[in-house]
Amino acid sequence: MNLQNKVVVITGGASGLGRATAEYMVTEKGAKVALLDLNAEAGAEVITLLGENNAIFCQTDVTGEKSIDAAVADIVAKFDAIHVNINAAGVPLPCKILDKEGKASSLKKYAMVLNVNLNGVFNVMAKCAEQMAKNEPDEKGERGVVINISSGAAFEGQIGQSAYSSSKAGVNGMNIPAARELGKYGIRVNSIAPGLFGTPMIKSLDEKVQVALTAMCQAPQRMGDMAEFAHTCAYLAENAYVNGRCLRLDAATVMQAR
């Protein structure tokens, strides 16, 4: 899909990898972006940076159907269509199976992580796909592209990541059935499993912690640049033959148990 003047919906788009991708899509690809996030202040900052002709911010809860319905309506009213959906919103809340006293973890805590990281992805994907199916197909028969953000933790989760890892593995598990179902509408579905990236949150950690994390990166032995992540999102949107797959973007990193 040619991204020029296409409308890209990005959850978690006001910060971190989501924001970096929004900026890349506008400045490098000439796309329009819709940022779905809870942080209104950060969202307004990005809109000021990118310009109101190129971007819209919608304060949303990805787990709420009415919230996403309202956002989609605002996006279509402004830009007339949705072509790409990148689901980057998520919570990394730790959740051990047993606590220090050997008591079972709260199911509520586990469910909250899955509600945001998995249910939220499905919710936004479904709402965006409904709009994509209304688009006129391009010269390759494409109407839309969905890119769901997983994690390396989906494959090698660390201790305390049972909730996070299972939610991200679930994201990957949607690839094939979603690609098969939505293919007849000209909509592709893929996921990215990023490793360690130099987001503001990671960069704010103690230097010793950053060094220890970077040591798990094999080659190159460094954190990923956020522009490399954004470039990968653009690649998956542009390459019409990539479908139903998870792309690991992690410098051959294999996370250790702790």
For residue 208, pLDDT beyond 90: no
Mean pLDDT of 252-258: 87
CB atoms within 10 A of CB 46: 23
Tell me if 52 sits within 8 A of 34, measured CB to CB. Answer: no
Active site members: 164
For residue 83, pLDDT beyond 90: yes
| Token pair for 163 | 């909730």
C-alpha to C-alpha distances, 253 to 5, 88, 152, 180, 211, nearest whole angstrom = 35, 20, 8, 30, 14
The pLDDT tens digits of the residues spanning 122-178 come to 999 999 999 999 999 999 999 999 999 999 999 999 999 999 999 999 999 999 999
pLDDT of residue 202: 84
Give Cα 73 distance to the centre of its chain. 21
Q: At the fourth CATH level, which superfamily is domain 7-197+225-249? A: NAD(P)-binding Rossmann-like Domain (3.40.50.720)
pLDDT of residue 45: 97
For residue 94, pLDDT beyond 80: yes
Tell me if 4 sits within 8 A of 83, measured CB to CB. Answer: no
Q: Model's pTM, two decimal places?
A: 0.96
For residue 41, pLDDT beyond 90: yes
Tell me if 188 sits within 8 A of 145, measured CB to CB. Answer: yes
The pLDDT tens digits of the residues spanning 11-38 come to 999 999 999 999 999 999 999 999 999 9
Average pLDDT, the chain: 96
